[in-house]
Structure formats: structure tokens, C-alpha cells
Structure 1
Amino acid sequence: MRTERNLTRLDRVFARLDREPERPAHLDVPRMSRHRVALLSATLGFYLAIVWLVVTTSWLVRLDWQVMFFRPYQQWSGIHWFVDYYVVLGQRGPTAVMVAAWLGWRSWRQHTLRPLLTLGASLLLLNVTVGAAKIGMGRLGPHYATTIGSNEMGLGGDIFPSGHTANAVVTWGILAYLASTPRARRWLSALSAVTSLGVGLATVYLGTHWLSDVLLGWAAGLLVLLALPWCEPVIARAEDGLLDLRDRWRSRRPVPVPAPTAPVPVQVPLAARPAASQDDEAAAARDAVTAARAPRPPAYLAPGPHGGRSERTPVTPVGSRRPPHADRLPRGTAASATRPLAGG
């Protein structure tokens, strides 16, 4: 009888994680070094400079208008179909699904939840910072501009900085951030930078963003990636908390108790049994069959003689339906004493 519990898919995943509870030694977790702090400070200065140039309606705003009047989608109309597909690499939904699938496989192979938790932390930071900047500055896009030469700030728009560019920097840059070797990190960093800049220029080509939107979006995404080492202790505590929650959940599940099984009798060949034991077994089998039969209930019969059905007189509430006969004798009287004999 099978008594073990069937493992669910979640149990198999956690069992895979339990094989190696510690993070593998070859994985290098980025730390907030002085070089990274200097790069973060420079990117933050670039971010603030772009915002200042747009707020003061400087030469950068005039360049935005010149690029818009140039209308790249009309100058190079032959690549419009390619740009429509390429810009999807900056949309949050498709890119998050693709990157999450890859990092989920990495989590399975490396026996740790850190890749998926790092992706979640980066997307949370991206949505909070970029969303707050968009709402706070309220810049209108090229298709909704009202005054030629103005910066279009504070008019209720949500175009500055470019969300496509910032999302491309974070979602593709997280692969470089989680790379196992320094060489892979350098190559993936360059690839994510080129991909994100290409996505930003694709939005300028389509006329949905100003050029300054793309520059600020690229800086916003890079700030999120550079600040991720500060989130590593929180990510580690979240991973430990999830594993502890898993352990408590599994401890509350009832453990199946195996059902008692009847002993299996050993079958001995009939030829090898002695004759006396064969007779005893046959008698025991007959007794068991006799005991298994249900006893018949006793038959309770009315006392006295019973006549045939033809001799009984049907009785109704008013009496008998047959007329009285003079020659009929009462029941129990001898016939030979009163009945005449025929034949003289």
C-alpha cells in the first residue's frame, strides 16, 4: 500500500533550494565601493544638469524642437516597421516577463532566490523614482506641445524622463549586475547600454519623446542600477524570511500515518504438508463454512390439524357464503359413526 505524500511543484522547488542552502561561492555580489559611489555621484550630477537645462529653456530645449521639426519618421520612413518592433524592448511588461523567465532559471540552477528578488527590488525603485519625476515635472510630449520653443513643463504631462529608456536600462542592465564573472559583466553592461540608448532614440524617431527625455531616462535607469548594492542586505533578509515562512508552512501540514497492513500467510505446497495437517485444515475449513452460513429462523406453525384449501369456508363479516348442509358434519367428528354405508 502506498502511504507517502505526493510532492507538489512548490515542494519540488523548495527541495531543490534545500540541496544547497548557502549561496554558491563563485557568485560575486556587487558592493558599494568607492568607484561605484563616484560613478553614482557623477550620474546624479548629470541627471540634475539635464533637469536644469530643461527648466531654464536652454539650448537643450531648442535642440528638442529642432529634432521634432526634422521629423525623423518622415526622413527615414523605410525603417519605420523595424523601429516599431525594436521599441518593444523598452516596454515594461514584455521585458519584465522575458528577464524574469531567465532569472527564474538562474534561481533554479544556483539554488537561491536572489536573482528574482533583485529584479523585483530594481523594478520597485524604477517605478517609484521615475513615476515621481514624471508626475512632479509634468512635461508634455512633442505630439501635445502648445508653444513653440517652450519647455512644456508643469502642464500635466508624464513624458519627462523617458520611461521606455529607463526601463530598458534597468531590465537589461540587471543581467549585467547579476553576472557571475567580471568579463561577462563588462560585456553585458555594454550590450545593455547600447540597447537602452537604441530604445530611447527609437522613441525620438517615432516622435513620442524629446531628446532630453531620453537622456534623463538613461540617467534615471543607471541611478537605479548603481544604487542596488545598498539593497543587498534587504534582499538577503527577504530571502531568509521567505525560506523561514516556507519551513513554518511545511511544518503545519499533517504528516500521513501509514495504515496497518495484515500479515501475508506463507503458502506451503499441498504435497509438502503431512496428511494429519491436511485433515485438520479440511475440518477447519468445513467448520468455517458452516459458521459463516446464516442460521435459518425457526418456523412457527399454528397448533392443530390443517385442512386443505378446498375444505376451508371463506368467512366474511356477515358469516359464511355457503348455505348449510345437513350431511356436513362438524370438524373433529368421526365419519364412520354417523355416515350411512352405501351398497346395503
Structure 2
Amino acid sequence: MRTERKLTRLDRVFARLDREPERPAHIGVPRMSPHRVVLFAATLAFYAAIVWAVIITSWLVTLDWQVMFFRPYQQWPEIHAFLDYYVVLGQRGPTAVMVTAWLGWRSWRMHTLRPLLALGVSLLLLNVTVGAAKIGMGRLGPHYATTIGSNEMWLGGDIFPSGHTANAVVTWGILAYLASTPRARRWLSAVSAVISLGVGLTTVYIGTHWLSDVVLGWAAGLLILLALPWFEPLIARAEARVFALRDAWRSRRAGTAPVPATASVAAAAMLSPHEAHAESAASAAPRASADEEPAPREPVSAPRTSRTPPAPAYLAPGPHTSRAERMPVTPAGSRRPPHSERVTRGTSHTSQPRPVTGG
């Protein structure tokens, strides 16, 4: 019986990825072009301007208070229930699960880990940059404001910039960043812009963020998307490292795993009878004594033009002799033991007396 190693789920995943080890040629990796560098510098300047305008309590802080006193959730209460669900599109957990599922399917189809690694790098940058800004500036939200007209900075809050808005820009914008065609990139850019714009304004409607928080959240998310091409070499090295670890793990498993006994039987069964006979004779040659005369060689047949079909796996390896060439059970004659009282078939039983029993 021929046995095969049962593939695990991880083996099947890597086998799927190995079907096309190279990245498809029509998918280009974004590079840090001069145009993108200019956009990054302009967005960074805008980010710094918003922070400075809030710190000096400029007209932007006054606008924040005016919007807060307007109380949009009281002006349009009929859409409050819908916006409570819509704002989930900016929460970290649900959006990360949805986008990871989509990019995981993309990685499966494209046979590359780049989509998932790009998402991981962008979320890491988002947590580090936005989280550091929130903790560093410590601004309080509208519901916890203490002094009317103040910027509420460095009071222990964590709402500046808006995490919902920045998360919506990054998690939905990464789909446009990883798009494979220019048309898909344009459509996904528009969709991600609408979603992130709606999520930011929804937080202002509910009253959890100032308007300046949302504007800074848009800028923070856009900075991460614009800076991603700088991390493409790191993503490529991480992908190569993952596959190198996979190959090392496979080779280590192949080197330490014991070879089953049935493997040699199956390998011998694939040989033709002539090759198996030659192999068995070669293995038995060292065991022959020195004083024995070598057996006469068999005549060499004509070269074969086609390979003999392999023997079935359930047959034992080695040459199979015909029934006439096998050694009999007894030295000579019939295999049945001699018996003087045995009656030959066809003779009558009445010719011999039967023993008398009884009294």
C-alpha cells in the first residue's frame, strides 16, 4: 500500500501561493514620484497649520464652538439613528476586519502577501502617528469642555486629531492604493473620499469631535497614504523573509521526518522485473562466500524500446518466478505425504474389511 503525507491547511495555503511565485506583471508598485512628494509636503504643511491654529486659539477654535452650540443632532434628529450605524465605518475593529478579508482574498488570487503587508504597515503608522498626537496634545472633546472659547488643549483628552476620520481615510484609501488598474484606482479613491468625509462629518453631528479634529484627521490619514511608497522596499523584504522562513520550515520538516517503510516498497514496485532482478543480485553479491563459484549469467536480451509498465503497488518487490520454477514443499514427488492405508479415488470401499466394533 502506498501512503502519502496528508497536507495541512498551512501547506495548502503555501501551495496556492506557489502556483505563481512572481507578482503579476500588470500590477505596478507605486513609487515616490516628485508629484507625490509635493502632495506630501503640502499636506504636512496643512497639518502643521491646523495644529498651530488650534494652539493659538484662532478663528478655527471659534468655529468649533459655534458648530458645537448649533447642535446638529438636535437640528436633524431624524437621521440620528442612521448615522449611529454609519459612523461604524470609521471604527478600527470592524473596518480592519472587512478590509483584511478583502485584501486576504486579493493576496490569495494574486499569489503575493503585499496587500496584507501594506495594510499592516499603514495601520501601524496610523496607530503610532495619530496615537502619539492624541496623547501629546491631550485635547478635550465638546462633551467634556470646561471653558467656553478655549482650545481645551493639554487637559488629558485624546480626540485631536479624530481617530475615526483618520482610520476611515487609511482603511478605505488603502483599497485605492492597491488597485491594479487606473480606472479602479479612480473609482476607489472617490468611494474612500466619500466614506471618510461622511464619517468625519458624522462625528461632528453626534458631538464627539470638534470640526478642527475632523480636518486634522483627514490630513493625518492622507499623510500615511502618501508616505506608503517609502515603505514598499520594507514590504518587499518582509514578504521575501516570510517565504524564506516558509522554505526553511519545509526543508526542516523534510529532513527530520522519518521515511515510511512503504516508501521503499513503492519505489521498488516502480522498477521493471529485469531491473529489480539486477538490483536484488547486486545487493546479494556481498553476502556470497569467496569460495563459491559465480552463477552463470543470463543472456542479455535485446535493448528495449519502451519501458516495461510498473508492477502494481500491492505486489512484493523483486523478480517473480513462474509456478514451475518454484521449489516444491517436499524434496521430490507429490506434496502429499505417503499413507499406506490411503484409498485411491474411484476404488470401492467394500474391497477392504471394516473393523468390527461392539460386544
Range of TM-score over shorter length = 0.7 to 0.9
Query: Is 1:115 matched up with 2:115?
Result: yes
Is residue 240 from structure 1 mapped to residue 273 from structure 2 by the alignment? no
Q: Does 1:85 align with 2:76?
A: no
Matches within 5 A, 1:177-188: 177-188=177-188
Shift of 1:70: 0.7
- The residue that corresponds to 1:150 in the other structure is 150
How far off its partner does 1:45 sit?
A: 1.1
Conservation of the 8 A alpha-carbon contact between 1:139 and 1:156? yes
Contact 1:65 1:149 in 2 (8 A): yes
Distance verdict in 2 for CA 1:286–1:4, change over 3 Å: farther
- State the partner residue of 1:169: 169
RMSD of aligned Cα (Å):
2.6
Name the amino acid aligned to 1:72.
P
Aligned-residue sequence identity (percent) comes to 79
Query: Which structure 1 residue ranges, 5 or more long, are not aligned?
Result: 288-344
Instruction: Give the number of the structure whose alpha-carbon radius of gyration is greater.
Output: 1
Cross-structure match for 1:9: 9
Q: Describe how 1:156-305 pairs up with structure 2 within 5 A.
A: 156-253=156-253, 254-260=256-262, 261=265, 263=315
Which runs of at least 4 in structure 1 moved beyond 3 Å after TM superposition? 260-266, 277-287
- Helix, strand or coil at the partner of 2:261: coil
- Tell me, yes or no, if the aligned pair for 1:166 and 1:220 is still in contact at 8 Å: yes
The residue aligned with 2:127 is: 127
Q: Which residue does the alignment assign to 1:72?
A: 72
Where 1:37 maps in the other structure, the secondary structure is helix
In the alignment, what sits opposite 1:320? none
CA contact (8 A) 2:329 2:335 kept: no
The one-letter code matched in structure 2 to 1:68 is M
When residues 133 and 281 of structure 1 are mapped into structure 2, their CA distance, relative to the original with a 3 A threshold, is farther
For 1:88 and 1:164, the matched residues in 2 are separated by 9
Shift of the 18–150 alpha-carbon distance from structure 1 to 2, 3 Å rule, reads same
Identify the residue that residue 36 of structure 2 maps to in structure 1.
36
**1:283, 1:129 → 2: CA distance?**
96
Q: How many equivalent residue pairs?
A: 283
- Structure 1 residue 281 displacement after superposition: 11
Query: CA shift at 1:2, angstroms?
Result: 3.8
CA distance in structure 1 between the aligned counterparts of 2:54 and 2:31, rounded to whole angstroms? 34
Contact 1:5 1:256 in 2 (8 A): no
Distance 1:242 1:281 in 2: 71
Q: Distance in 2 between matches of 1:189 and 1:36?
A: 15
- 1:22 is displaced (CA, Å) by 1.3
Match of 2:49 in 1: 49
Q: TM-score scaled to structure 2, two decimals? A: 0.74
Paired AA for residue 225 in structure 1? L
Structure 1 CA distance, aligned partners of 2:316 and 2:337? 22
Q: Aligned equivalents of 1:37 and 1:285: distance in 2? A: 100
